[in-house]
Structure 1
Amino acid sequence: MDHFRWNGSVAMRVPWHIGPDLSDEERVAIAHSIQMFQLGENSEGRHLMRYAKEWAERTGDAVYPEAIRMLIVEEQRHAGVLARFMEINGIARITRGCSDGIFRRARNLFGSLEISISVLVTAEIIAKIYYPALSAATSSTVLHTICEQIHREEIAHVEFQTEQLARIRAGRSALGTWATRFLHRLLFYPTVMVVGLSHRAALRRGGLSFWQFCSRSHHEFVRDLAAMEPQAVSRLSKRPASETEAMRKTSLSIRARFSKSRAGSH
């Protein structure tokens, strides 16, 4: 919750005054890719809010629905700034896409908070690799600023979602935990391959081959999957007393990680 409050107070300052700053070649290379990700970022989150409220009623976790509401607002902000960038640079928005439709249906397939945020965090883990590559794909100062902010927020979103999944899975049997890991892998790896193939032109221009993209996504997933384990719940109480101060202290390291990711894409 503290992250969302703090982050809302330091929302990104995009240098819109620069105006359109994509070359024709860059526009052609990233148009399809940014259209698809902009669409994916845009969601009203009605079902997710309902699941969050149901969780709060069952567990007494009264602040969780508000945290989810703030997360949805941040995702909508991502969609908004990407849409504005696209408009300025002459890239049309799209209203539907095959992969986006599949993601939305999968999130609500069983009417479960766990399934919904498992699908959502899958997309967010992939986004941690995608946005540095998108930034590296062009010389656009505006897009660099947007990608840096979104990348930073996706890292925080993944941390938030993995902690919640660990709470949901607390007390699950060893067999149940194994089955959960297996099913999440079954979701994640085909998704990575579809994204890698669908966005290969933009990724390649950003310095990532299909296999490099898959490999980096795999490493992120392995690390984040461990944070979803039921035993991770016991570590949550050891976090700094002030999460807001902790977020301030880690902001620079996240920015440095973004710059490293971009540099590694070349």
Structure 2
Amino acid sequence: MRESTSATPAIGQRAGERRVRSTEEWLAYFRLNARRQRKIPWQSSGVAASPAELAPLRRSLQAWQLGETSDGRHLAASADRFAAATGDPAYREVIDLFIREEQRHGALLGRILDDAGIPRRQADWGDTLFRRLRYSITDIEVWTTPVVMVEVLAMIYYNAIRRATGSPVLRAVCAQILADEVPHVQLQCERLAVLFRHRSRTRYRATMLAHRVLFLAVMLLVWVGHHRALRSGGYSWTHYRRAAYAKMNRAWQRMDPQRYVWT
């Protein structure tokens, strides 16, 4: 099964160039992206998916929709501290636009649930665990790390949902979110590269080792919570694991400060 490869062009970057994009470039990207959203073919008859098709997706979509909803207060507070520490006050606006985009994903999935007659969930063990992990520490690096990992796995998840359904509505929503997730991962990886820039290579390697331990845990938790939906989209455990590491390895490469030319 071929992986989805959402072809989002590098933000403000020429082919072969290796530099971290500026805050102004990210602001321009998010503002433009908010105006060029795909047209979703919403239907008065619902999502046009059969009960049999929705059965293995139902609980998973409920949980994932909950995970996409957040007021972003904790991230905004961490972004303020990062902006102050790096002398980049406009970074907070980038994060505000990022949060707004994530909230738009939650709204799209919420409408899918509503139109399918599936109640929205108010709590989920996976969402609760993930939020506690993020909210327990306000450091931007600690906050960003699990977010990157979940966003990487989200690309596999939405590809699976898109493959599992013939609903043009649900497929279009998945396509939109997939297109958005690629720059989201890019943004967070570049921020981590900035944080790692002055870290010794020994400490950097130790950080990457910790990343690998955490990613294994996050990958397993997503599989436990969403394996029925993933299997419906053609992902066995082996295929899921291979796809997850392939995508995360690319993300880890983008976090490496030695990848970039610094000015």
Q: 1:102-117 counterparts in 2 under 5 A?
A: 102-117=129-144
User: How high is the sequence identity, in percent, across the aligned residues?
Assistant: 36
Aligned to 2:165: 138
Q: CA–CA distance in 1 between the matches of 2:52 and 2:36?
A: 33
One-letter amino acid matched to 1:14: I
Q: 1:35-50 counterparts in 2 under 5 A?
A: 35-50=62-77
SS at the partner of 2:235? Answer: coil
Q: TM-score, normalised by structure 2?
A: 0.86
Matched, 1:10 2:63: no
Q: Give the count of matched residue pairs.
A: 236
Task: Looking at secondary structure, tell me which structure has more helix per residue.
Answer: 1
Tell whether the 8 Å contact from 2:75 to 2:143 is kept in structure 1 after alignment: yes
Q: CA–CA distance in 2 between the matches of 1:123 and 1:99?
A: 11
Higher relative contact order (CA 8 A, sep 6+): 2
Matched, 1:34 2:61: yes
- Unaligned 5+ segments in structure 1 are 238-266
Spell out structure 1 runs of 4+ moving beyond 3 A: none
Tell whether the 8 Å contact from 2:126 to 2:225 is kept in structure 1 after alignment: no
1:26 Cα deviation from its structure 2 partner:
1.2
1:18 Cα deviation from its structure 2 partner:
5.2
1:232 Cα deviation from its structure 2 partner:
3.1
Q: CA–CA distance in 2 between the matches of 1:188 and 1:144?
A: 27
Aligned to 1:260: none
Tell whether the 8 Å contact from 1:35 to 1:93 is kept in structure 2 after alignment: yes
- Please report the RMSD computed on the Cα atoms of aligned residues, expressed in angstroms: 1.3
Tell whether the 8 Å contact from 1:133 to 1:208 is kept in structure 2 after alignment: yes
**Post-superposition CA distance 1:208-235 (Å, at most 9, x none):** 1122111101100011011111223427
Q: 1:183-202 counterparts in 2 under 5 A?
A: 183-202=210-229
One-letter amino acid matched to 1:13: K
**Post-superposition CA distance 1:243-262 (Å, at most 9, x none):** xxxxxxxxxxxxxxxxxxxx
Q: CA–CA distance in 2 between the matches of 1:188 and 1:44?
A: 25
- Unaligned 5+ segments in structure 2 are 1-26
Aligned to 1:98: 125
One-letter amino acid matched to 2:79: A
**Post-superposition CA distance 1:159-178 (Å, at most 9, x none):** 01100110011110112101
Aligned to 2:146: 119
SS at the partner of 2:120? Answer: coil
Tell whether the 8 Å contact from 1:18 to 1:142 is kept in structure 2 after alignment: no
Aligned to 1:23: 50
